[in-house]
Amino acid sequence: MLARFFPKFSEDIAIDLGTANSRVYVRGRGIITQEPSVVAINKKTGQILAIGDEAKRMVGRTPSHIVATRPLIAGVVSDFEATEQMLRYFIEKARGRKFLLNPRPRVIIGIPCRVTEVEKKAVIDAAKNAGARYVFLIEEPMSAAIGARLPVQEPGGNFIVDIGGGTTDIAVISLGGIVLERGIKIAGDKLNQDIIHFAQEEYKLLIGERTAEAIKIGIGSAYPQKENSRKKDEVLREMAMRGRNLVTGLPEEIAVSEEDIRRALEKSVRQIVSEIKTAIEETPPELLADIMKSGIQLAGGGALLRGLNTLIQKETKIPTKIIEDPMTAVVRGGGMVLENLDELQEVLVETEYLEPPK
């Protein structure tokens, strides 16, 4: 009721609640924060000590009674209380200014494909407990497609692959709805684990997740890079991998090459490509004809793995492009839905727990 008479006081929010990172968009202001989806908890007292960037800095550096954890696994709530506290932190940060007549915001949250009604309700309940007035859900590939400004409401095929931290979501979109969707729990986090496993198997070296992620970003690739593109992008060909030798127990540094890391990631990358090919096989012929013209669109942080678009294009024979600023596509799409809720309401997830906007 209050928001109807004082709409300028209502700061509606879109949240990309990712497994690895969360991003927040405020209506009329744009993206205001991007932080890791990490919560530091004191196990003795149950107290939340830090959230986001500050909590991530604690990973691997805390005493035993303090645990830095991710409250979401594969995009699904695994720790309800920590998720609620994290959402409260983001909502309060987004609202910023505090007015006496400042109504609680409406919130749009991106979720992976194929989540259950129970999992949807967990997200909605956590957001409402954190201070949201109404909560709307949007599937992440749909949100990413809107963020990429694809013509999702037109009668043509749009093929998008959103590679996040915990899941890879694949969707064919037409006429404002998802015609076909597939999901696989292989994404950025699994690639980090592949590098950790490779270091143990190949060099008997124990490394942490942050080290693995830095190596993935630094020299990770899915397809051999041409020499001229290396010079253009200034891609490193080797990188130091530091950790503890599992045999001697002493610290050790080993130089790993781009080829080493590509070999470490190969199995997981092939599984992602295989899932994309399966989705193509299941796509209706008329929509596939459209997709052959418009191409496959890659979103999410995983889209930045060097050569992934080249590999997918080679394997599928369909042009494959990385959308502009792929890491923020989901939250940008959620923000565009917020700004045009009446026109884009059809793209939101249908669920009995959703309440209509006032």
Could you report the per-residue pLDDT of 250-278, keeping only the tens digit for each? Answer: 999 999 999 999 999 999 999 999 999 99
Report yes or no on 192 lying in a domain.
yes
Distance CA 310, CA 297 (A): 12
Q: Are residues 197 and 311 in the same domain?
A: no
Q: Are residues 176 and 300 in the same domain?
A: yes
pLDDT of residue 228: 47
Report yes or no on 354 lying in a domain.
no
Q: Are residues 71 and 199 in the same domain?
A: no
Report yes or no on 355 lying in a domain.
no
* pLDDT band with cut points at 50, 70 and 90 for residue 6: very low
Q: Are 294 and 159 in contact (CB under 8 A)?
A: yes
Report yes or no on 46 lying in a domain.
yes
* 55-69, 222-236, 295-309: the lowest-pLDDT one: 222-236
Amino acid identity, position 60:
G
The CATH number linked to 279 is 3.30.420.40
Range of the domain at 161: 151-186+268-327
pLDDT tens-digit map of 48-94: 888 888 888 877 677 778 888 888 887 778 888 888 888 888 888 88
Q: Are residues 122 and 100 in the same domain?
A: yes
* 6-10, 24-28, 68-72, 119-123: the lowest-pLDDT one: 6-10
Q: How many domains does the chain have?
A: 3
Q: Are residues 317 and 232 in the same domain?
A: no
Q: Are residues 60 and 20 in the same domain?
A: yes
The CATH number linked to 230 is 3.90.640.10
Q: Are residues 133 and 17 in the same domain?
A: yes
Q: Are residues 37 and 77 in the same domain?
A: yes
Q: Are residues 261 and 280 in the same domain?
A: no
Report yes or no on 39 lying in a domain.
yes
Q: Are 280 and 316 in contact (CB under 8 A)?
A: yes
Q: Are residues 304 and 172 in the same domain?
A: yes
pTM beyond cutoff 0.75: yes
Q: Are residues 26 and 135 in the same domain?
A: yes
Average pLDDT, the chain: 86
Q: Are residues 273 and 180 in the same domain?
A: yes
pLDDT of residue 350: 61
pLDDT of residue 101: 52
Distance CA 110, CA 138 (A): 5
Report yes or no on 352 lying in a domain.
no
Q: Which residues contact 307 (CB under 8 A, 6 or more apart)?
A: 221, 222, 223, 224, 225
